[in-house]
Chains A and B, each alone.
Chain A
């Protein structure tokens, strides 16, 4: 079974773009190990030949791909922490 260390939590937190305190990392490592230990029962089940289920509906309704009105640009930008020139503003990405 998966051993969850502070290093595991740090790796996963990087993937999820979460900055965690040292206290959170230790707490989550302990709690995740408990939760995963408990979820270990799934490993004993025979799932060979069983298809994965991603959502409850087998038949998906598709619609015609027709242009429609969408949210006006001002509304879409209206909730941003920083916007200008019709764009969202973020810190510099490329040095």
Chain B
């Protein structure tokens, strides 16, 4: 076990800071020491911001010494996926095309954490423009899974997951377009929450697929995920799609009462392709929920087998439009020595974008192009409606839907890089929540082949309270979230 302050949860750090048992600077320094020791083995970060962090920690300590109240995240070191803008730090999005970019504004999600006393220690590695399931598509370097450094940490928020799992920070932000918080959380033994679409402002989040993208926390416990959510959730005048729905009662959720909770399981959807040990852990998880007072029954989600195809058409179409902005004109790198505008666009994008990003732009542009729009993009949007209707019907008979987060534990570095379709198929259980706009939570549910796997719970739109309540109940019944990788 990691000893000292770097082994603590965010909630425990805040508690000790609030009673002035430790200073924010002490907390930060122990985490920076941990980063110095462990980061060379994991490669979770693209940039560290120790000076900025120390400055902020000292200023907060001065306020606390004057008797000021401790804000809800006082002194909690956090890592930010490099897809979100932090005031004064670069944003690359894992891409060469944004190398050297300094955003002139901060993401609302980050600003909300910092306003509540969190201390940003750095920006974490990711698949380029969040396109990937392994963090191997980073233009800079791969990140390693702290449980087995020959394996991927998952993606695209792989750096954030590896940073939390290796105790370099207790909390990190990720973004989830098709599973990019939940899948790396599962692969690294963490608790990861993708909130309902609209729950967290996307202002300052670099856009991948705007109807699917959502910001959320990676943490070790449901309690810490709830703590982060209490800071992140809520409307933002700078994001017109952020929602003003009532906020969850986080304290009530964390009591973790599962009595009467109805858990639905789409057994048909799990019949094939799930690793046997992963399925055993999943069945044990259902039993744990039952012993906490929940009831488990089957649900039908007949269109889920079409979710991956639907997702990869919708997401790439939106991405092809969103990524048109990288043209070498307003920001980002520009190809040198080109004297016509069309050539400038083409060469800039060829130099700056990696293979997976190009592949997705090509697929998305194809799906939107004249002659193919109806058969691909429009049809995918209609199937998306069918998938959402499936969930609406299923939730009439249950409160949460449970699946494994992934069909297998973390795969080896390089294992799937040559076969994009195999990489896409690994997202089978996570993409439906993004298509339907549902909140999803991944919880550590034990080890398969010595590696962590996750239990995924989905709930109705804006019902994160039930999701966190079920998660808290699960973590009262189990100790899986206390397992630590052998670094």
Contact = CB atoms under 8 A, between A and B. Distances in A.
Contact of B320 (A16, A31, A61, A76): A16
B309 A32 contact: no
Contacts of B379: 42-43, 45, 47
Contact of B346 (A18, A41, A62): A18
A4 B366 CA distance: 10
Contact of B241 (A32, A35, A57): A57
Given A39-B313, A41-B309, A61-B244, A16 B365 contact: yes
Interface in B359-376: 359, 361-363, 365-366, 369, 372, 375-376
B358 A57 contact: no
Interface stretch (B10-18, B100-108, B273-281, B465-473): B100-108
A42 B306 contact: yes
Interface in B155-203: 196-198
B144 interface: no
Contact of A19 (B101, B329, B330, B347): B347
B283 to A, nearest CB: 28
Contact of B363 (A32, A75, A78): A32
Interface in B59-99: none
Contacts of A93: 341
A53 B329 contact: no
Contacts of A75: 104-105
A39 B376 contact: yes
B437 interface: yes
A62 B237 CA distance: 10
Interface in B325-345: 327-334, 338-345
Given A12-B362, A61-B240, A82-B334, A56 B211 contact: yes
A56 B333 contact: no
A20 to B, nearest CB: 7
Nearest to A32: B363
Contact of A50 (B342, B349, B385, B424): B385
Interface residues of B, number: 73
A82 B359 CA distance: 29
Contacts of B102: 78-79
Contacts of A16: 320, 324, 349, 361-362, 365
Contacts of B383: 42, 45, 47, 50
The interface residues of chain B, by DSSP majority, are classed as helix
Nearest to A4: B366
B362 A9 contact: yes
B105 A38 contact: no
B362 A91 contact: no
Nearest to A48: B382
Given A24-B355, A51-B382, A35 B420 contact: yes
Nearest to B372: A2
Contact of A38 (B309, B329, B355, B359): B309
Given A15-B365, A56-B436, A63-B237, A42 B309 contact: yes
A38 to B, nearest CB: 6
B414 interface: no
Contacts of B345: 17
B349 A45 contact: no
B93 to A, nearest CB: 14
B339 A57 contact: no
B104 A63 contact: no
Nearest to A46: B386
Nearest to B101: A79
Contacts of B341: 90-93
A41 B306 contact: yes
Nearest to B196: A56
Contacts of B397: none
Given A36-B376, A41-B306, A56-B197, 9 more contacts: A9-B362, A18-B362, A35-B363, A41-B309, A54-B381, A56-B461, A62-B240, A78-B104, A80-B331
22 contacts: A2-B375, A4-B366, A11-B369, A12-B369, A18-B346, A19-B349, A28-B358, A28-B359, A35-B312, A36-B376, A41-B305, A50-B385, A53-B388, A57-B197, A57-B437, A61-B240, A75-B105, A76-B330, A81-B333, A88-B329, A91-B339, A91-B343
Interface of B: 101-102, 104-105, 196-198, 210-211, 235, 237, 240-241, 243-244, 303, 305-306, 309-310, 312-313, 320, 324, 327-334, 338-347, 349-350, 353, 355, 358-359, 361-363, 365-366, 369, 372, 375-376, 378-386, 388, 420-421, 424, 436-437, 461
